[in-house]
Structure 1
Amino acid sequence: MGQPLNLGIVGCGAISAQYLQTIDRLPQVRLVAVADLDLDRAREAVRPYPGVDVLGVAELMADARVDAVLNLTVPAAHAEVALMAIAAGKDVYCEKPLAATGADARRVLEAAEAAGVRVGCAPDTVLGTGTQTARMAIDDGLIGRPVAATATMMTPGHERWHPHPDFYYVPGGGPLLDMGPYYVTSLVTLLGPVASVIGAASRTRAKRTIGSGPRRGEDIPVTVDTHVTGVLVHDSGALSTLVMSFDAVATKAANIEVHGEQGSLIVPDPNHFDGPVLLSRLGDQDWRTLPVSAGYAEAGRGVGLIDFVSEREPRAGGSLAFHVLDVMESLLASAHSGKALDVPSTCDRPRPVALRSAAAER
């Protein structure tokens, strides 16, 4: 407590650059080492950050300087790397999802509890001013009792721009497990945990064609559902309608809308930290933009690590990430069974974030 968190990163792919930029401006966090199966990639990732050691994965886990491991590997490796860190007595913060399956995620949480270490998990975008300002509006009663929400994400698929998109189309990927964590985490932050779900899903193509990079034109197999939709029934009674697709071209629908008895909110893209929150109250003729009132301003990926320095239970914590994964797996199971299903887990609604500048955390 009060001392910088010495951090080691495992996985230096594309997302690591955004985390490195945030970590570099957080005095609460000190990056001491990185590891990747491709050591050249690891060296290139930290070239702008002198003094950071490049190690093998086992070396990083054994390094006594490292207090916590930031796990930025592909989803299929999340549980394996997290369990290695926990076995080494280190806290672990994972890129979403917590694991490729709920069973693996449970193993991670159980191992962490037995070892007395903490688990955190992205997305921490919900800690930004966008979702947090919307949450404050709900908590302050500006829309009355919440009754419903919609969450919509439509794209034609990441293979059009990603040079190595294979992991998006194997277990642990797909539009729901890839992008759903942003939307479901935001819905839980806004409306609380989910009690039950009913879903439907489809897979329109058996293969996808890579559209960029050295493998352009190569076909890759699709083994997961690429369009998933359904209804989440929150403990509060509110109903959220979710649509996640890698099969559509575009949409003009708001990323998230929340509707109450006295008003409605348009919530910014939960894949971003900020953006305007719009309110229309009963009797209004138009929407108005709410002033920014809560959350980390000027935040970037990794801002959730701030809680690791001072909080026993981080806001972007393991129990929330597990519940979000449980909701998504339950939705897929419902889609395949054709039946409404209870969500086995629950979690506390994450604590709100008072308005503060992430830049001021330097």
Structure 2
Amino acid sequence: MTEGTICLVGCGFVADLYMRSLRLHPGLRVAAVWDRDADRLAAFCAHWNVPAASGLDAMLAALPPEGLVLNLTNPSAHFEINAACLAAGHHVYCEKPLALRVEEAIELAETAREKGLQLGSAPCSVLGEAAQTLGHALRSGIAGTPRAIYAELDDGFVPQAAYRKWISASGAPWPFEDEFRTGCTLEHAGYYLAWLIAWFGSVRTVVAASAETVPDKTGAGPMAPDLSVATLFFHTGMVARLTCSIVAPHDHRIRVIGDAGVLSCNAAWDNGAPVRFARRVTVRRRLMEWPLPRRIRLTGPTPPKVKRWGAAAMDFLLGPVEMLDAIREGRQSRLAGTFAVHLTEVTLAIQNAGEHSGAQTMQVTCPPMEPMPWAR
């Protein structure tokens, strides 16, 4: 059981998802919480019975040096809050993205390195059972040599959804205006990008396009692209195609096409989603994947899981817990350093691709991620 102290800055919709995961980690203590909205702060702290801080400085003062700040603010505030926490000498785990500009993400990582601090980035589903199982299957060669990957992060026609009725456990509304301005690529691409980078290391070239296909969304603009399609060329030779949208029918599949068949998982936001393998066969001269794929399981015990809430069944504290373990063990967190910066860089390249960007060469590189001990 991991023990440690955390602080939360930002009490919006996503903060409740982190707090729902807290029951799986009884060794964690919330020292203080702060939000610039006093009413939202009061409602959040009353619901979860956690202490409110009078300001950012007071929150940071309540955190011991080996503790961890969870930056759960809106993306437009990520750089400012991350910089302030690092300047105060604290480790930081930030909701995606680290910053809205690659140069800012690199600057933050350099500051963390100089100060000997951890700076990590969500999403942490890459540390969950589904991602780790699929990674183990790849390393084991179950599908033979992988040749290509298709990944989808389509969430349905969200502009017509009843999103005004989406309310978190402590009463925070889904921040639809900020979500539309930030864009589905910045918000969601990391869920599968993190898996791909963990398995294959850094992306060499991004060839992408993005567009706003529904121009009349609710809220003040400008709005971000609501559709992006990217082909990713990795240094290791892997090629992957990633699609993000809030217009196409819901589809969260990832398929790894190998010489021997196809590995797949159908739910990026479910830590316990089944991983399956369909071997390739020839039936009456027809080449096909076997229609009854077998489920792939890890042999040992896996982490406990949260129950589904809304669209997700994810332990949002997997990342902070891994970072606290890394701090205690004196090693780099799996989600920190160049991994976090590269994840941000690739995501921004896809989001900002537009119509004419062409091939974009990535600046930052990182190695594949070390598997979790229970998935080796």
For the aligned pair, the TM-score class normalised by the smaller chain equals 0.7 to 0.9
Q: Name the counterpart of 2:364.
A: 345
Are the aligned partners of 1:9 and 1:34 in contact in 2 as well (CA < 8 Å)? yes
Change (3 A) 1:24 1:254: closer
Change (3 A) 1:88 1:47: same
Residue 264 (structure 1) shift: 0.9
In 1: Cα distance, 2:120 partner to 2:349 partner: 22
Is residue 317 from structure 1 mapped to residue 336 from structure 2 by the alignment?
yes
Q: How does 1:228-267 map to 2 (within 5 A)?
A: 228-248=228-248, 250-251=249-250, 255-267=253-265
From 166, 191, 198, the equivalent of 1:189 is 198
Are the aligned partners of 2:185 and 2:350 in contact in 1 as well (CA < 8 Å)? no
Q: Name the counterpart of 2:210.
A: 201
Residue 261 (structure 1) shift: 1.3
Are the aligned partners of 1:152 and 1:255 in contact in 2 as well (CA < 8 Å)? yes
Are the aligned partners of 2:85 and 2:92 in contact in 1 as well (CA < 8 Å)? yes
The 3-state SS of whatever aligns with 1:207 is coil
Is residue 130 from structure 1 mapped to residue 130 from structure 2 by the alignment?
yes
Q: How many residues align?
A: 342
The 3-state SS of whatever aligns with 1:78 is helix
Change (3 A) 1:51 1:184: closer
Q: How does 1:106-125 map to 2 (within 5 A)?
A: 106-125=106-125
Change (3 A) 1:332 1:221: closer
Q: Name the counterpart of 2:98.
A: 98
Query: How well do the aligned residues superpose, as a CA RMSD in angstroms?
Result: 2.4
Q: How does 1:263-278 map to 2 (within 5 A)?
A: 263-278=261-276
Tell me, which stretches of 5 or more residues in structure 1 are unaligned? 210-218, 357-362
Are the aligned partners of 1:96 and 1:122 in contact in 2 as well (CA < 8 Å)? yes
Residue 158 (structure 1) shift: 6.0
The 3-state SS of whatever aligns with 1:280 is strand
Residue 336 (structure 1) shift: 4.1
Change (3 A) 1:25 1:48: farther
Change (3 A) 1:320 1:159: farther
For each residue in 1:242-263, what CA deviation from the matched residue of structure 2 results, as whole angstroms up to 9, or x when unmatched?
A: 1111232x14x55211111122
Tell me, which stretches of 5 or more residues in structure 2 are unaligned? 165-172, 282-288, 307-314
Are the aligned partners of 1:97 and 1:121 in contact in 2 as well (CA < 8 Å)? yes
Q: How does 1:152-163 map to 2 (within 5 A)?
A: 152-154=152-154, 155-157=156-158, 160=161, 161-162=163-164, 163=173
TM (normalized to structure 1)?
0.87
For each residue in 1:134-176, what CA deviation from the matched residue of structure 2 results, as whole angstroms up to 9, or x when unmatched?
A: 1100011101111100111222236731553122233xx2121
Amino acid at match of 1:288: R
Greater mean deviation of Cα atoms: 256-265 or 2-11: 2-11
Are the aligned partners of 2:24 and 2:304 in contact in 1 as well (CA < 8 Å)? no
Q: How does 1:1-362 map to 2 (within 5 A)?
A: 4-50=3-49, 52-63=51-62, 65=64, 67-154=67-154, 155-157=156-158, 160=161, 161-162=163-164, 163=173, 164-170=175-181, 173-209=182-218, 219-248=219-248, 250-251=249-250, 255-283=253-281, 285-286=290-291, 287-293=293-299, 296-298=303-305, 300-311=315-326, 312-332=331-351, 334-355=353-374
Greater mean deviation of Cα atoms: 133-142 or 105-114: 105-114
Greater mean deviation of Cα atoms: 31-40 or 314-323: 314-323
The 3-state SS of whatever aligns with 2:345 is helix
| Identity rate, percent | 26
In 2: Cα distance, 1:3 partner to 1:332 partner: 36
In 2: Cα distance, 1:296 partner to 1:40 partner: 35
